[in-house]
Amino acid sequence: MILLDTHALIWYANEDAEMPDSLWRRINQEDQFLVSAISVWEIAMLVDKNRLILNLPVNEWIETAANHFPIVWIDLNIDICLKSTQLPGDFHKDPADRFIVSTCILNGAKLITRDKKLLTYPYLETEWSS
């Protein structure tokens, strides 16, 4: 099972050139993939701060992605929230990353990410290829 980091979801859904072809194929091989609900918040915040421009209003973009791709949305729950405060090793303080990593760990998922901090976190299985 794989989980897409927020930027990976955006690039995948928008067919952005930032997403390597090998990862595009990798994601397309999956019957379904996970996305943390915190990614919706991150996307909405990026749009609100004009750091991300979407071709639709954010709520419609999310709905379109949910209807077009085999996304399984993982809501924040008590276990994920608690795990986010108990991550092993030295983990940075970004709460969204903590929720995403906790979601991966608790669901036994590999994270698709380009984030160097997450790629080098030894307690998480990750994937990215250039």
Q: What is the pLDDT of residues 86-120, one digit of tens each?
A: 999 999 999 999 999 999 999 999 999 999 999 99
Q: How far is CA 102 from the centre of its chain?
A: 12
d(CA 24, CA 26): 5
pLDDT surpassing 80 at residue 16? yes
Residue 112 contacts residue 5 (beta carbons within 8 Å): yes
Domains in the chain, please, with CATH? Answer: 2-127 (3.40.50.1010)
In whole angstroms, what is the distance from residue 111 CA to residue 130 CA? 15
Percent of the chain at pLDDT exceeding 90: 98
